[in-house]
Amino acid sequence: MTSDVRGHRAAPLSLRALATVATVLLAGPGVYLLIRNFTSDADPAGLLISDRTTGPLWRTLKLATLVSLSTAVLGTGLAWLTTRTDLPFRRTFRVLLTLPLVFPTFIGAAALVRTLNPGGLVNDLLSGVGVDRTPTVDGLSGSWLVLTLFTYPYVYLPVAARFARLPGSIEQSARLLGNSAASVFRRIILPQVAGSITAGTLLVYLYAISDFGAVSILRYDTLTRAIASNQLANRPVALALSLLLLILAAAVVLAERATRRRYSKVAVARSMTAAQVPLGRWKWPLTGVVAFVVLNALGAPLAALIDWSVRGLERGRRNGRGLTVDANEIAEVTWNTLRVSAITAVAAVLLVLPIAVLVGRYRSRIGGIGHAVAISTFALPGILIALAATFFISASDWTFDTFHNTMVILIFSYVVRFAALAMGTTLLAVQLVPQRVRDASQTLGASSGRRFISVELPLMLPGLLAAGGLVLLSTMKELPISLLLSPFEFETLATRIFSTFNESFVAEAGLMALALVVLSFVATWALIIRPTERSTARETESLRQR
- The CA distance from 327 to 243, in Å, is 43
Residue 324 touching another protein (CB under 8 A): yes
Q: How far is the CB of 219 from another protein (least distance, A)?
A: 6
- The CA distance from 531 to 534, in Å, is 5
| Beta-bridge partners for 277 | 85
Residue 456 touching another protein (CB under 8 A): no
Residue number, 75 or 510, with CB nearest to another protein: 510
Residue 533 touching another protein (CB under 8 A): no
Q: How far is CA 539 from the centre of its chain?
A: 27
Residue 293 touching another protein (CB under 8 A): no
Q: How far is the CB of 216 from another protein (least distance, A)?
A: 4
Stretch near another protein under the rule CB under 8 A, chosen from 20-28, 166-174, 188-196, 499-507: 499-507
- The CA distance from 77 to 159, in Å, is 9
Residue number, 74 or 137, with CB nearest to another protein: 137
Which of 516, 524, 45 has the alpha carbon at shortest distance from 305?
A: 516
Q: How far is the CB of 358 from another protein (least distance, A)?
A: 23
- The CA distance from 415 to 374, in Å, is 10
Q: Which of 66, 156, 480, 523 binds another protein (CB under 8 A)?
A: 480
Q: Which of 252, 351, 465, 512 binds another protein (CB under 8 A)?
A: 465
Restricted to residues 328-357, the positions that interact with another protein (CB under 8 A) are 339-340, 342-343, 345-346
Q: Which of 2, 123, 141, 435 binds another protein (CB under 8 A)?
A: 123
The 3-state secondary structure of 472-536, one letter per residue: HHHHHHCCHHHHHHCCCCCCCHHHHHHHHHCCCCHHHHHHHHHHHHHHHHHHHHHHHHHHHHHHH
Q: How far is the CB of 498 from another protein (least distance, A)?
A: 8
Residue number, 116 or 149, with CB nearest to another protein: 116
Q: How far is the CB of 496 from another protein (least distance, A)?
A: 8
Which of 224, 222, 208 has the alpha carbon at shortest distance from 67?
A: 208
Residue 490 touching another protein (CB under 8 A): yes
Say if residue 25 is exposed, middle or buried (CB neighbours under 10 Å; 0-12, 13-18, 19+): middle
Residue 263 touching another protein (CB under 8 A): no
| Beta-bridge partners for 85 | 277
Tell me the three state secondary structure of residue 104: coil
Restricted to residues 383-422, the positions that interact with another protein (CB under 8 A) are 383, 386-387, 390-391, 394, 397, 400, 404-405, 407
Residue 110 touching another protein (CB under 8 A): yes
Residue 449 touching another protein (CB under 8 A): no
Residue number, 405 or 435, with CB nearest to another protein: 405
Tell me the three state secondary structure of residue 86: coil
- The CA distance from 254 to 248, in Å, is 10
Restricted to residues 24-63, the positions that interact with another protein (CB under 8 A) are 52, 55-56, 59
Restricted to residues 193-222, the positions that interact with another protein (CB under 8 A) are 216-217, 219-221
Residue number, 62 or 175, with CB nearest to another protein: 62
Q: Phi/psi at 489 (nearest 5 deg)?
A: 65, 10
Q: Which of 196, 486, 492, 532 binds another protein (CB under 8 A)?
A: 486
Residue 370 touching another protein (CB under 8 A): no
Q: How far is the CB of 505 from another protein (least distance, A)?
A: 5
* 8 A C-beta contact, residue 477 and residue 459: no
> Site map for another protein, 218-257, x if CB under 8 A?
-xxx---xx-xxxxxxx-----------------------
Q: How far is the CB of 414 from another protein (least distance, A)?
A: 13
- The CA distance from 192 to 202, in Å, is 17
Stretch near another protein under the rule CB under 8 A, chosen from 72-80, 115-123, 258-266, 358-366: 115-123
* 8 A C-beta contact, residue 367 and residue 355: yes
Element (H, E) at 28: helix 28-39
Restricted to residues 504-523, the positions that interact with another protein (CB under 8 A) are 504-508
Restricted to residues 56-75, the positions that interact with another protein (CB under 8 A) are 56, 59
Q: Phi/psi at 277 (nearest 5 deg)?
A: -70, 120
Residue 113 touching another protein (CB under 8 A): yes
* 8 A C-beta contact, residue 27 and residue 385: no
Kindly report the CA angle at 220 between 108 and 56, in degrees rounded to 5?
Answer: 130
Which of 473, 468, 377 has the alpha carbon at shortest distance from 426?
A: 468
- The CA distance from 290 to 514, in Å, is 22
Tell me the three state secondary structure of residue 85: strand
Q: How far is the CB of 503 from another protein (least distance, A)?
A: 5
Residue number, 106 or 156, with CB nearest to another protein: 106
- The CA distance from 190 to 183, in Å, is 10
Stretch near another protein under the rule CB under 8 A, chosen from 7-15, 107-115, 356-364, 428-436: 107-115
Residue number, 131 or 254, with CB nearest to another protein: 131
Stretch near another protein under the rule CB under 8 A, chosen from 63-71, 307-315, 363-371, 427-435: 307-315
Residue number, 436 or 534, with CB nearest to another protein: 534
Q: Which of 20, 141, 499, 540 binds another protein (CB under 8 A)?
A: 499
Q: How far is the CB of 236 from another protein (least distance, A)?
A: 10
Residue number, 72 or 302, with CB nearest to another protein: 302
> Site map for another protein, 128-157, x if CB under 8 A?
--------x---------------------
Residue 185 touching another protein (CB under 8 A): no
* 8 A C-beta contact, residue 302 and residue 112: no
Count CB-CB contacts under 10 A for residue 8: 10
For helices 153-164 and 530-545, the axis angle rounded to 10 degrees is 10
Which of 373, 347, 366, 334 has the alpha carbon at shortest distance from 522?
A: 334
Which of 27, 438, 111 has the alpha carbon at shortest distance from 304?
A: 111
